[in-house]
Structure 1
Amino acid sequence: MYLCALKFHIMITPISGFSKLSKEEKIDWLSQTYLAHNTNARKILTQYWNPDSGLQQLHEEFTENTLSNYYLPFGLAPNFLINDRLYAVPMAIEESSVIAAASKAAKFWSDRGGFKAEVLGTEKIGQVHFMYSGDGKKLEHFFNSIKSTLLEAVAPLTKNMEKRGGGVMNMELRDKTKLLDNYYQLHCTFETKDSMGANFINSCLERFAETFREAAKSHEAFNATEKEIEIVMSILSNYVPGCIVKAEVSCPVTALADQGMSGEDFAAKFVRALKIAEVEPYRAVTHNKGIMNGIDAVVLATGNDFRAVEAGIHAYASKDGKYSSLTHAEVHDGQFRFWMEIPLALGTVGGLTALHPLSKIALEILQKPSAEELMKIVAVAGLAQNFAAVKSLITTGIQQGHMKMHLMNILNQFQATTQEKEVLTSYFKNHNVSHSAVEQQLEKLRS
């Protein structure tokens, strides 16, 4: 006999005008429609409001249909020596052991000369994608004749950016018809200085597209069909291989001796671990995720777009046709070297960096960096996190340190009291942490 568990769903009808409801009315509808059996839902949603501080309205204006605020821990990793300057790096992240690991790596390398970081380029990219079914030679001639007009069309938009040393750096016509019939693009590069520049770039691209299309309608060399250039879209790219920062550390191999392991053995195991991540995509993804633990935490803390950063960096990891490690290591003439080059499009003015109070604090902690300085700091945070992770993997294993940091999460899952937390925190200083071990010890304590 087979037993079948039936799950009954409440019949729900679409709602009109949800965005026009007040926050309280939205929660009323949600509570009645999807959370009818959760008596704590309203309390949970409202306990994260900031009604008296002025923050609530600010948060609600960041996005749409706001119900509450979703908090993440805002922590600090001190002792980052970068280009002979000491930083304390703010991080917004919920994952256990990330901040602790980054801090430990920062201290490790501060005793060995610190991190070196260098911005190799700050070029950002935007594209106007369009379709054209006519003669490619005519299109090329038309583009060359209209290019100066296109740049003049965005002059009102670029005026202030140019005063800061930025603006449109180049524009070229690219023929993509071998990939897709009739597909061309205007490939544009930009310098946006301390701004991440998304709105600036997109505004310029839309003006390019409008001017390009209208000029084609009156171009004397085009026939009636060729005049119909169809603009598909105008949008920046989050893949920025010309906006690159390099971060690295180095020291004599002998200075790597740690936990009873010689420096030579440590270096050999470390380099071998990175070689595996270079050739094995399954390992590379997790390896690079560890880098992003450090990068995303600083990007988020400073009010930057971590989703754009993630997309660009993972694309860069595949630039040679195969997904691979972003970090590399070598030993040469008795020197250990560990480095990374990654694309990072960041800003320190505009957007959330100028609005979110904690983002402002984060940038103050970092001594009000320029966009280039922030690129260096963020890259170093990723490199430090990766060093800490690989170091754990080739020595004690990743779980020993991670699970000790995860202990408090497990205790909170079991609703441990303050006294129980104190007792078990002391116990697990000398015992391996696992979910089952914590559960067993908590049962003993309670019995």
Structure 2
Amino acid sequence: MIEKKFISGFSKLTKDLKLSFIAAQMPNGEHIISELKSFWHQDASVQKMFDEFSENTLTNYFFPYGVAPNVMINGNIMMVPMVIEESSVIAAAANSAKYWAEKGGFHSEILSTVKNGQVHFIWKGEFGRLKELFPQLKDQLLQRTFPITANMQKRGGGVLDMELIDMTSKLQDYYQLSVKFDTRDSMGANFINSCLEEYASGLRAFVNDSGLFEGEPLQVIMSILSNYTPECTVRTWVECDVKDFADIDDSLTAEDFVWKFEKAVQIARVDVHRAATHNKGIFNGVDAVTLATGNDFRAIEACGHAWAARDGQYRSLTEIKVEGGRFHYSLTLPIAIGTVGGLTSLHPMARFSLHLLGNPSAPELMQIASVIGLANNFGAIKSLTTKGIQIGHMKMHLLNILNMFNAGESEKLLAVEYFKHHKVSHNAVAGFLSSIRNGHVKN
């Protein structure tokens, strides 16, 4: 166990010294060093790049990289990369993609691509006077960031608008300078934050040093983009005739299936416990695409969950409509994602993912991530309302359980065949392995 004491200067150690420091405090230290080094990239220059992505790096942490084939989006078929460790997620996406490809595929449209950030400030001065002089201030601020925004403007993006917002009803003396941005194919965090910090300096100077205002100085609290991007949204949907679900399950008619499916979605609209799990299934797909393309899944999840609670109650992100014998299931989601800059350009697997997808624009990648999110959600609701989630999930989880018991290849082959016809559980697998190791082969 690592010694529980304050460590000074750890970040200044070389990677080898960091490894030695940790290994010296654990049993089998040399084995630990060898195991951690076994995950280093064989190309030293690539490993150095990985090390520089973060801090205090010891080694690399591997996640499975898979693909969902046959994903039809607006009539185009593609193979979508997914990075996730959870069993059955990629299988569910692939199954849903194949199922809907035979019914016209997924449809998707971009609703908007605007991102935003704020300069948060405290001021006891006359806000009315500041608003009166705001056109003058706005011109000065835009000129101040021209060196930062010039290249983005050439690509058709840049600063779209800015406004002063009075927040004193929520917090005493609190105001915002709120700015909207179009960052084109980049996620744009560094661009937005650089602009906002310049705006903060310009705002502070305009109020405190211009002689136009009296009283206490304006105090900037912070300048930062918002990961809540309700104006950067994509809408994705599937639709077909209700009768087209006739082959969905042996035990249900098409009408019965659609009725159960609709009720399941309605439950997720009104019950927060179900909504959280419902939306988690969506992010199984969205996050997997986000990771595969080197984007920030934490920002996208934070935004999505905030969006789910935008009316004051946390709800499902999907909506269902069944009218005139037609089934229509949709997902509307804010996704701030990029295809240039950051890890999307540096990480070799992120570059490969984007190449596999045909080098999409950021709006196109928004659509792809949203489609995989809806595909995973549809697969989950379909399983829940028919045979149950555990039958398929536990069969996909079987190899993980077998590996926990150190099963050999011959044992795995026997187990896979046996559990084609039997329910998978931890105890059942343990019992099966015990039986065959004692010379008794189960049928």
User: TM-score category by the smaller chain?
Assistant: over 0.9
In structure 2, how many angstroms separate the alpha carbons of the residues matched to 1:437 and 1:390?
A: 26
Residues 50-59 or 233-242, more deviating: 50-59
Q: Which amino acid aligns with 2:380?
A: A
1:6 counterpart residue number: none
1:352 corresponds in structure 2 to: 343
Percent identity over the alignment is: 51
Match of 2:434 among 408, 418, 443: 443
Q: 1:397 to 1:219 in 2, by over 3 A?
A: same
The counterpart of 1:98, out of the listed 81, 89, 100, is 89
Q: 2-side partners of 1:236 and 1:422: how far apart?
A: 52
Match of 1:212 among 178, 203, 225: 203
Cα contact 1:138–1:221 (8 A) shared by 2: no
| 2:441 match | none
Instruction: Determine which of 2, 15, 19 is the counterpart of 1:23.
Output: 15
Deviation at 1:12, TM superposition (A): 3.7
Question: 1:218: Cα distance to partner?
Answer: 3.2
CA shift digits 1:318-369 (9 cap, x unpaired): 0010000001112110100000100000100010000011001100110100
- 1:158 equivalent in alignment to 2:158: no
2:388 — aligned with what? 397
Cα deviations across residues 399-434 of structure 1 (Å, max 9, x unaligned)?
Answer: 000000000000000000011001101100111101
Question: Residues 200 and 397 from structure 1, CA distance in 2 versus in 1: closer, same or farther, beyond 3 angstroms?
Answer: same
Match of 1:249 among 228, 238, 247: 238
User: What is the alpha-carbon distance in structure 1 between the residues aligned to residue 42 and residue 75 of structure 2?
Assistant: 44
Shift of 1:22: 1.5
- Structure 1 residue runs of 5 or longer lacking an equivalent are 1-8
Partners of 2:18 and 2:70 lie apart in 1 by 45
Structure 2 residue aligned with 1:259, among 232, 249, 259?
Answer: 249
2:137 counterpart letter in structure 1: I
Q: Is the 8 A contact 2:125 2:215 kept in 1?
A: no
- Judge conservation of contact 2:72–2:97 (CA < 8 Å) in 1: yes
Distance change in 2, residues 1:205/1:440 (3 Å): same
Distance (Å, rounded) in 1 between the aligned partners of 2:68 and 2:433: 31
Q: 3-state DSSP class of the match of 2:320?
A: strand
Residue 423 of structure 2 is aligned to residue 432 of structure 1: yes
CA contact (8 A) 2:115 2:180 kept: yes
Counterpart for residue 66 of structure 1: 57
Task: State the match for 1:372 in structure 2.
Answer: 363
Q: CA deviation at 1:11?
A: 5.6
Determine if contact 1:105/1:387 at 8 Å carries over to the other structure: yes
- The within-5 A match list for 1:17-416 is 17-33=9-25, 35-36=26-27, 40-52=31-43, 54-225=45-216, 228-257=217-246, 258-260=248-250, 261-416=252-407
1:237-287, Cα deviation, whole Å (9 max, x unpaired): 000000000000000001112122221111111001000000000000000
* Greater mean deviation of Cα atoms: 199-208 or 56-65: 56-65
1:60 is displaced (CA, Å) by: 0.4
Quick one: distance in 1 between partners of 2:348 and 2:210?
52
Letter in 2 for 1:64: E
Note the C-alpha offset of 1:178.
0.9
Aligned residues: 436
1:136, distance to aligned residue in structure 2 (A): 2.0
Distance (Å, rounded) in 2 between the aligned partners of 1:128 and 1:416? 57
- Taking the aligned partners of 1:36 and 1:308, their CA distance within structure 2 comes to 38
Q: Report if the CA contact (8 A) 1:142-1:219 is conserved.
A: no
- Structure 2 vs 1, CA of residues 56 and 417 (structure 1 numbering), >3 Å: closer, same or farther? same
Considering only aligned residues, what root-mean-square deviation do their CA atoms show, in Å? 1.3
| CA distance in structure 1 between the partners assigned to 2:227 and 2:301 by the alignment | 9
Separation in 2, partners of 1:334, 1:39: 67
> Hey, what's the Cα distance between the residues in 2 that align with 1:147 and 1:269?
54
Contact 1:244 1:341 in 2 (8 A): yes
Q: Look up the SS of the partner of 1:137 in the other structure.
A: helix
2:133 partner SS: helix
